[in-house]
Amino acid sequence: MNPAAAQTRERDLKIEIRHDWTRGEIREIYELPLTELLFRAQTVHRTYHKPDEIQMCRLLSIKTGGCPEDCAYCPQSAHYSTGLERESVLDVEEVLAAARRAKNEGATRFCMGAAWRDAPHGKEFEAVLTMVRGAAETGMEVCCTLGMLTDEQARALKSAGLTAYNHNLDTSPEFYGEIIHTRVYEERLRTIAAVRNAGITVCCGGILGMGESAEDRVGLIEQLARLNPHPESVPINMLVRAEGTPLANAADLDPLVMVRTIATTRITMPRAMVRLAAGRLQMSREAAALCFLAGANSIFTGEKLLTTPNPEKSEDEALLRDLGLKPLELESHEG
């Protein structure tokens, strides 16, 4: 390599935490030859994380279906006939039993999801606070995803012991209107700011395979990587096509698109936990392995995500064993 090329390479490999990423810079990374992209992602990953540790998270749907939003990907939207039984909020005891089970099975993060546009007020919100308090007592990280929050609700969740709040931007601002008509991007950003201001860590990511372009994936990463601080957690979901939703017949996603997106997320947000979230059931073991190589360091385990199936416990154990990876223990995890 000539000296100028060596200098450029050195600059490219310098790992710093930046919040001034431009769309052009992110696009350049996303479009790198795959070998170079993975090398850079691994370089960043090994600087900030243990390369053989994967965090196991467990999801529980505490309020399923009947959601007033019209997210085109979601089996829980009341706008579509997806055959999903609508349920009211689960009992606190049932939720806490699930949390204890998750912990016994090796999860270190417990995430409660609800099909709400906004988190409710009154009794239902009080019940959620009780669930958060109880789940926090297990010592696991506790996350919730309840829709939009006010500043006050965010502060109450923080006082109850919530570690993280999941609120996805899903895609680029330009493509958002094609997928959701009942809310705007700005509203998502406002809840993310409320979470951050309350001192709760931010979990924010997106979904691939909704018919978006590479530019939309780059646009999503631009939004996330320009947040200051970066989200501590970035879930990258592969669309789970749900019968009855407008995206039920979306085209198959090339798994290498997941790999590129994860690598670009890893490079631009070095400290974040990058979660290979929904869609693992449709993915080969080899594709999942490439996602880990690209810097994903977390999966959701358990028979279900929120409402859709997830790989079997035995399959996940075999996957980690065959790849020589081990579940992250909370003590070794900084933040």
How many whole angstroms separate alpha carbon 263 and alpha carbon 101?
Answer: 32
What is the number of other CB atoms lying within 10 angstroms of the CB of residue 282?
Answer: 15
The CA-based diameter of the chain, rounded to the nearest angstrom, is 68
Catalytic residue at 143? yes
Q: Interface with ligand SAM includes 73 (CB under 6 A)?
A: yes
Q: Find the binder of ligand SAM among 306, 320, 325, 328 (CB under 6 A).
A: 306
Q: What minimum distance in Å lies between the beta carbon of 171 and ligand SAM? A: 9
User: Which token pair is 215?
Assistant: 């530019």
Q: Find the binder of ligand SAM among 240, 259, 269, 283 (CB under 6 A).
A: 240
Q: Interface with ligand SAM includes 261 (CB under 6 A)?
A: no
**CA dist 309 to 96, 120, 162, 194, 302, Å?**
21, 27, 26, 32, 9
Q: Interface with ligand DTB includes 171 (CB under 6 A)?
A: no
Q: Among 57, 67, 144, 204, which one carries the catalytic annotation? A: 67
User: Which token pair is 6?
Assistant: 């060596």
Catalytic residue at 111? yes
Q: Interface with ligand SF4 includes 276 (CB under 6 A)?
A: no
Question: Which residue is listed with tokens 């529980």?
Answer: 60
Of 111 and 115, nearer to ligand SF4 (C-beta) is: 115
3-state secondary structure of 43: helix
Q: Find the binder of ligand DTB among 55, 77, 168, 298 (CB under 6 A).
A: 168
Residue 324: DSSP 8-state: T
Q: Find the binder of ligand DTB among 32, 37, 54, 59 (CB under 6 A).
A: 59
The torsion angle over the Cα atoms of residues 303, 201, 123 and 120, rounded to 10 degrees, is -90
Q: Interface with ligand SAM includes 90 (CB under 6 A)?
A: no
Of 38 and 102, nearer to ligand DTB (C-beta) is: 102
* Side chain identity, residue 63: K
- 201 phi and psi, to 5 degrees? -75, 155
Of 38 and 242, nearer to ligand SAM (C-beta) is: 242
Nearest alpha carbon to residue 53 among 334, 287, 320: 320
Q: Which residues are catalytic?
A: 67, 71, 74, 111, 143, 203, 275
Binding site for ligand DTB (CB under 6 A): 59, 75, 111, 113, 145, 166, 168, 205, 235, 237, 240, 277-278, 305-308
Q: Footprint of ligand SAM on this chain (CB under 6 A)?
A: 67, 73-74, 76, 113, 115-116, 145, 147, 167-168, 170, 207, 237, 239-240, 242, 278, 306
